[in-house]
């Protein structure tokens, strides 16, 4: 399970970033993972699940970014197809975001997948767009998120995604995180404040405040989730050490107005000693 926040604005403040992504990956501590890297002989930049070879968040040098989130309570389908390649296939493919998601939607109608949210960011020389598709929402459809207007001016151009079944009914922690993420963007979105921006976003992604009660978590909770588990799960930073499960990767992506991408990742190397490894890749994107 994971959480992701995105700021996307083709007309940011002077010296501001046009795209900021913050993401947490929650996973069992023992699952082998490769930290952020350029994948050999592939146009993929991201971390990698070393067990099945897929990824939860990756980018390409031509301005494609993909994020994959699971859906709580929708992970028990027998013989389900692996979700790991979903991001990879978009990032290194030649289809547009809409073309790719149309193909993915058709694939999920023909084959069995456990629940997922696919969040696609498409950067071109003309504009930036975010698309979303969830295969287990009551009415699965492809949505261009950047076309949706928000009533909250202070959260304009800021989007939050979690593990609820519908993005229209987010978990309380996503509401909390989106609000705080918007405040950070408003205060620090300029290159002269880059380190403050990174530090504050990272602090947010490490926030252990419990955003419970949460009716959506209660509605979709799996049978093994007792009250203490649900309370710990309701935080942005998930720490369920008793189950050897929790947040083990933080990612922050910054893209400036010259299309220079700074991709930062912090990966937990040892959950007992809380040792984290920071990796940073800078890439000049080549947009078409």
Q: Are strands 45-49 and 57-59 parallel, antiparallel or unpaired?
A: antiparallel
> Quick check: 72 and 222 in contact, CB under 8 A?
yes
Does the pLDDT value for residue 1 go beyond 80? no
Q: CA-CA distance, 100 to 65, in Å (whole number)?
A: 12
Please say whether the dihedral angle defined by the alpha carbons of residues 52, 48, 236 and 146, taken in this order, is positive or negative: negative
Q: CA-CA distance, 242 to 62, in Å (whole number)?
A: 42
Contacts of 154 (CB under 8 A, 6+ apart): 179, 182, 183, 186
Alpha carbon 124 to its chain's center: 20
pLDDT, mean of residues 95-120: 95
The model's pLDDT over 6-41, given as tens digits with 9 standing for 90+, comes to 999 999 999 999 999 999 999 999 999 999 999 999
Q: According to the model, what pLDDT value does residue 65 have? A: 98
Q: Which residue has the tokens 């993929």?
A: 44
Q: Encode pLDDT of 149-191 as tens digits.
A: 887 777 899 999 999 999 999 999 999 999 999 999 999 999 9
pLDDT digits 0-9 by tens, 225-258:
999 999 999 999 999 999 999 999 999 999 999 9
| Residue 283 reports pLDDT greater than 90 | yes
Residue 77 has pLDDT above 90, yes or no: no
pLDDT number for residue 76 = 83
Whole-number Cα distances in Å, 103 to 108, 139, 242, 273: 9, 17, 40, 43
User: pTM surpassing 0.95?
Assistant: yes
Across all residues in the chain, what is the average pLDDT?
96
DSSP secondary structure code for residue 243 in this structure = G
For position 150, what pLDDT does the model report? 80
What's domain 2-284's superfamily in CATH?
Penicillin V Acylase; Chain A (3.60.60.10)
Distances (CA, A) of 261 to 20, 59, 122, 283: 10, 10, 14, 5
Cα 75 from chain centroid (whole Å): 18
Q: Is the dihedral of CA 34, 38, 44, 45 positive or negative?
A: positive
Cβ-count burial 172-191 (b if 16+ within 10 Å, e if not): bbbebbbebbbebbeebbee
Rounded Cα distance, 62 and 8, in Å: 17
Query: Is the pLDDT score of 284 beyond 90?
Result: yes
Would you kindly state where each structural domain of the chain is located, as residue ranges? 2-284
């Amino acid at each position: 399970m994971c959480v992701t926040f995105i700021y996307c604005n083709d007309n940011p403040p002077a010296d501001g970033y046009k795209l900021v992504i913050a993401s947490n990956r929650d996973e069992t501590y023992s699952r082998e993972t490769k930290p952020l890297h350029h994948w050999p002989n592939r146009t993929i930049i991201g971390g990698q699940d070393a067990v099945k070879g897929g990824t939860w968040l990756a980018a390409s040098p031509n301005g494609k970014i993909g994020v994959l989130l699971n859906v709580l309570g929708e992970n028990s389908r027998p013989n389900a197809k692996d979700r790991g390649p979903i991001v990879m296939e978009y990032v290194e493919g030649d289809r547009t975001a809409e073309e790719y998601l149309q193909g993915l939607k058709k694939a999920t109608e023909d084959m069995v997948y456990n629940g997922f949210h696919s969040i696609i960011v498409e950067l071109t020389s003309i504009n930036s767009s975010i698309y979303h598709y969830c295969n287990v929402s009551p009415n699965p459809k492809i949505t261009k998120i950047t076309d949706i207007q928000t009533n909250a001016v202070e959260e304009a151009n800021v989007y939050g995604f979690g593990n609820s079944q519908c993005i229209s009914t987010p978990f309380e922690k996503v509401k909390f995180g989106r609000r705080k993420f918007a405040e950070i963007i408003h205060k620090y979105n300029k290159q002269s404040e880059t380190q403050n921006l990174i530090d504050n976003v990272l602090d947010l992604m490490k926030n252990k405040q419990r955003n419970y009660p949460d009716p959506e978590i209660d509605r979709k909770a799996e049978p093994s989730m007792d009250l203490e588990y649900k309370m710990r799960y309701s935080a942005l930073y998930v720490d369920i050490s008793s189950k050897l499960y929790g947040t083990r990767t933080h990612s922050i992506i910054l893209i400036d107005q010259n299309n220079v991408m700074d991709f930062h990742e912090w990966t937990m190397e040892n959950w007992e000693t809380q040792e984290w490894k920071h990796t940073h890749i800078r890439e000049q994107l080549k947009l078409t």
